[in-house]
Amino acid sequence: MASFSDLALQYIAGEWRPGRGSWDIIDFNPYTGDKLAAITVATADEVDEAYRAAERAQSAWARTNPYVRRRVFERAIRVVEEREAEFTELIVAELGGTHLKAAFEIALVKEILRESTHWATRTEGRILPSLTDGKENRVYRLPVGTVCVISPFNFPLFLAMKSVAPALALGNAVVLKPHQHSPMTGGALIARIFEAAGLPPGLLNVVITDIAEIGDALIEHPVPRVISFTGSDKVGRHVATVAAAGFKRCVLELGGNSALIVLDDADVDYAVDAAVFSRFIHQGQVCMAANRVLVDRSVLAEFTEKFTARVRALRTGDPADPEVQIGPLISPAQAESVTAMIEEAVREGATPLVGGATVGNVVPPTVLTGVPEDSTLLAREIMGPVALLIPFDGEDEAVRLANATPYGLSGAVHTADTERGVRLAQRIDTGMIHVNDSTVADEPLVSFGGAKCSGMDRLNGEATVEAFTTTKTITIQHGRTTFPF
């Protein structure tokens, strides 16, 4: 695979080239602080060039036999399989991801590529009946044209690929803008994968830039018809507002504040395992992570003892060490923000059961209890390795506490009675919730998306087809219609 310097370029119309902006995005290793690369930002003119290249290439791609399109994704899977060790090194270096996190993300990438081989042949039209004798109503399903994908920093390879691969498979072109903290993993690496897989030039373009350089040019441009954005709800609101002015469709996958609920009949040991994974995978920088662990008071003492013991045993440090489970947060700003949240909660009266001092960008795994119910920390997304342990008395209180947040992305319920878990899950205002499992779950056929401030529209399965295609109706009158005048 290419070196960091080879990935520190724009990819427009099938060409690798430096940006023409007047400043650079500096990509750092979040654990060591070492500079990985400097990427000169793309300008608004280059964004236009990327969209025009996509527009030119897309019509021929849409007419390409879907079985031929499918071969690109079959080859892309092989590229990922053959270069998994190199991709792991990049995830560790650029994201501070542990080896466990890298394996988890790459496995998800391979699954979305496998599913994309099927999306290429999954667009079905319909013939519908008519009120008029002799009339035939044909409804065709067509690609939307060009899709803009804006990816986040936490799982950038997977979360970009989750939109890029199906959009391409369904006959669209794509312009991808990665987050400034993950320009290579979330952008250039994806272009390299598809270039090696034989995707025709111009269909995928990667622009590494920032709103400070291009303003809203990426969203306002007339070419893209769908904007797929993954990130914070604050930025998501802005994206949706700008897109609405151009009558563009938005798929927004935003933040979360998930609750993992442990009922009085739960398997406590299993619930502890699920809670540790749900909260601390990739240092808690996961939108589906269980910020809040709600535990029935009847099992609180047992759960707390076992949960805190597991959290204390988590190994922190250099993510390049395969034994490390908790690495750095993505940036000094993020580490400082999470540390400040912990300190504020303690000032408000919370008790730290597990914790320690932040070292560099490594925030130690922390468990807080006794967080006041009016604390802002309970209602917000933390994006760090901090678990809030909250007792409850009975199901009604569990539901009230779980719903006391503007977010609604994921969740989990642990109980010995599956149908009891389903009944409680139906009362939680969230787009996804899992009975006797982690809050972090994503399967390519299962609808993914949130309620409330956690997003708009859905991806995966049939929802992906709806997101990246449109319908066109053509009617045929066999014989003559009788008109009223």
The catalytic residues are 253, 287
SS3 370: coil
Residues facing residue 142 across a β-bridge: 470
* Neighbouring residues of 57: CB distance < 8 A, sequence distance ≥ 6: 173, 200, 201, 202, 203
Beta strands in 97-230 (DSSP E): 126-128, 135-143, 146-150, 173-177, 204-206, 226-230
Q: Is 352 exposed, middle or buried (0-12, 13-18, 19+ CB in 10 A)?
A: middle
Cα 95 to the chain's mean position, in Å?
A: 15
- Dihedral angle sign, alpha carbons of residues 19, 25, 29, 34: positive
Cα 457 to the chain's mean position, in Å?
A: 13
Tokens of 381: 């997304």
Q: How far apart are CA 59 and CA 81, in angstroms?
A: 30
Q: How far apart are CA 282 and CA 304, in angstroms?
A: 22
The number of helix segments (H) and strand segments (E) in the chain equals: 16, 22
Q: What is the DSSP string of 295-328?
A: EEGGGHHHHHHHHHHHHHT--BS-TTSTT--B--
Q: What ranges in 315-445 are assigned the alpha helix state H?
A: 332-347, 395-402, 418-425
